[in-house]
């Protein structure tokens, strides 16, 4: 029995009515052993994704001739064969260049899986807290690693087999750090107050957070805290909290919860509030997105 399912969904279209918007079809796989260890692969489409984040390390394979990537206010032009490794909770976005179609594949590796890999000494080359905000690997071997991923990880039959397979894939990717274009690499900034505030938001993001209280807790003026937080993470703390809620909502769409329950669990006031923020990032409503990743 396979540990996850790889399936096609129905066409997903940008809600904006325009002749140059091309429908996209998603293939989606999620681990049966590690919830949130997941994979998406798209067909060519024209959508642009707003600034968002994931509470996991994300590895993106560029599968089209070119695409845009925005990370930490840096606008990058990606080409076919590039691999982007984005650290957890880093703000990023991007999509098609003009009306040109683009496609990508994305693997999300959550903290729990990385912790398991370290625990069993299956991975020593990545330390999550010392990761750059993002790394770009320009390597002809990237597609080979992608093929290994598709042909092996999705058909593992046990938790141990899945961890071993994933560690081999990550080791291969991180061997190519020497070919990363260092001009395009941003090293994470560190500030103890911001790290502390960020950790609290990461834990309490579904609740109402008093940012004035957090400012007092780290002995900073609230306005300065907001400014400093934005300069380090790329967005103000409240937007960071909303981004975490949207990411949780996106993951919950793969479960059997109703859309209103997803909105409530993720911390939104109501479903329309969730819809508005989700569509701003993904270009479609949560319902349309859900229909694109579930089997018929």
| Most confident range, picked from 92-106, 111-125, 131-145 | 92-106
- Of 155, 184, 213, the residue at which a domain comes to its end is 184
pLDDT, tens digit (0-9, with 9 covering 90-100), for 181-230: 433 444 455 688 998 999 999 999 999 999 999 999 999 999 999 999 98
pLDDT band at 129 (very low <50, low <70, confident <90, very high): low
The CATH number assigned to the domain holding 88 equals 2.60.120.10
Residue 139: predicted pLDDT: 65
Report the pLDDT averaged over residues 280-294.
Answer: 80
Q: How far is CA 35 from CA 41, 89, 105, 169, 254, in A?
A: 18, 18, 19, 19, 10
Q: Are 62 and 86 in contact (CB under 8 A)?
A: no
Q: Going edge to edge, which strands form the sheet with 48-52?
A: 48-52, 92-95, 66-71, 74-79
Q: Which of 133, 156, 184 is the last residue of a domain?
A: 184
Q: Is 151 in the same domain as 285?
A: no
Q: Residues for the chain: how many in total?
A: 296
- Indicate whether 83 and 160 sit together in one domain: yes
Task: Indicate if 11 and 150 belong to the same structural domain.
Answer: yes
Strand pairing partners for 95?
48, 68
Residues 136 and 228 reside in one and the same domain: no
| 251 has pLDDT over 60 | yes
Residue 208 in contact with residue 241, Cβ under 8 Å?
Answer: no
| Residues 170, 198 within the same domain | no
Q: Are residues 176 and 201 in the same domain?
A: no
pLDDT score for 40:
85
Answer with the residue of higher pLDDT: 175 or 276: 276
Name the token pair of 46: 């024209």
In a domain, 2, yes or no: no
Question: Residue 116 falls within a domain, yes or no?
Answer: yes
Judgement on whether residues 99 and 233 belong to the same structural domain of the protein: no
Residue partners of 221: CB distance under 8 A and separation at least 6: 215
Percent of the chain with pLDDT over 70: 80
Q: Does residue 1 lie within any of the structural domains?
A: no
288 & 218 share domain = yes
Query: Residue 3: is its pLDDT beyond 60?
Result: no
Is the domain of 117 the same as that of 264? no
The answer to whether residue 251 sits within a structural domain is yes
- Is 40 strand, coil or helix? strand
For residue 178, the model assigns a pLDDT of: 43
Q: Are residues 208 and 264 in the same domain?
A: yes
Give pLDDT, residue 6: 40
Residue spans of beta strands (DSSP E) within 31-180: 38-42, 48-52, 56-62, 66-71, 74-79, 82-86, 92-95, 104-110, 134-138
Q: Is the pLDDT of residue 62 over 70?
A: yes
Provide the pLDDT for residue 288. Answer: 83
Q: Domain span at residue 255?
A: 192-293
- For the cut 80, the answer to whether the pLDDT of residue 126 exceeds it is no
The tokens for 272 are: 């329309």
Q: State yes or no: pLDDT of 76 exceeds 90.
A: no
In terms of DSSP H, where are the helices of 59-178?
A: 111-119, 142-152, 159-174
Handedness of CA 179, 180, 184, 189 (dihedral sign): negative
For residues 102 and 169, membership in a common domain is answered with: yes
Half-sphere exposure of 269 (CA within 13 A, CB side): 4
| 9-13, 62-66, 85-89, 255-259: range with lowest mean pLDDT | 9-13
Its sign, for the CA torsion 77, 106, 243, 254, is: positive
Domain-terminating residue out of 184, 213, 232: 184
Residue 172 lies in a domain: yes
Q: Is the pLDDT of residue 133 over 80?
A: no
How far apart, in whole angstroms, are the C-alpha atoms of residue 273 and residue 205? 15
Which of 233, 251, 238 minimizes the C-alpha distance to 208? 238
Which tokens sit at 224?
């300065």
Tell me if 209 is assigned to some domain.
yes
Q: How many domains does the chain have?
A: 2
Residue 275 has pLDDT above 90, yes or no: yes
Of 275, 268, 164, 186, give the one whose Cα is nearest residue 233: 186
Please tell me the distance from the alpha carbon of residue 48 to that of residue 224, in angstroms, as a whole number: 32
Read off the pLDDT band of 176 (50, 70, 90). low
The mean pLDDT value for 136-164 works out to 81
Are 169 and 203 part of one and the same domain? Answer: no
pLDDT digit string (tens) for 77-116?
888 888 888 888 888 998 888 778 889 999 999 888 888 8
């Amino acid at each position: 029995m396979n540990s996850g399912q790889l399936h096609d969904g129905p066409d997903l279209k940008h809600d904006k009515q325009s002749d140059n918007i091309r429908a996209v079809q998603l293939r989606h796989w999620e681990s049966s052993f590690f919830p949130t260890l997941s994979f998406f692969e798209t067909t060519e489409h024209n959508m642009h994704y707003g600034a968002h984040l994931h509470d996991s390390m994300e590895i993106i394979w560029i599968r089209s001739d070119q695409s845009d990537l925005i990370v930490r206010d840096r606008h990058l032009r990606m080409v076919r064969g590039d691999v982007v490794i984005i650290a957890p909770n880093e703000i990023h976005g991007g999509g098609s260049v003009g009306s040109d179609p683009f496609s990508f594949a994305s693997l999300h590796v959550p903290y729990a899986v990385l912790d398991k890999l370290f625990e069993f000494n299956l991975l020593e080359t990545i330390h999550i807290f010392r990761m750059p905000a993002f790394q770009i690997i320009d390597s002809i071997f990237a597609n080979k690693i992608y093929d290994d991923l598709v042909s092996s990880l999705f058909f593992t039959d046990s938790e141990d087999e899945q961890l071993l397979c994933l560690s081999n894939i990550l080791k291969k990717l991180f061997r190519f750090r020497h070919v990363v274009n260092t001009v395009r690499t941003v090293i994470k900034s560190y500030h103890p107050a911001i790290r502390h505030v960020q950790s609290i938001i990461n834990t309490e993001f579904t609740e109402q957070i008093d940012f004035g209280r957090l400012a007092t807790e780290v002995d900073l003026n609230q306005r300065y805290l907001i400014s400093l937080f934005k300069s380090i993470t790329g967005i103000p703390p409240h937007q960071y909290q909303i981004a975490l809620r949207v990411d949780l909502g996106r993951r919950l769409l793969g479960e059997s919860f109703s859309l209103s329950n997803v909105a409530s669990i993720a911390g939104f006031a109501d479903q329309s509030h969730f819809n508005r923020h989700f569509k701003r990032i993904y270009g479609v409503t949560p319902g349309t997105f859900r229909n694109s990743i579930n089997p018929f």
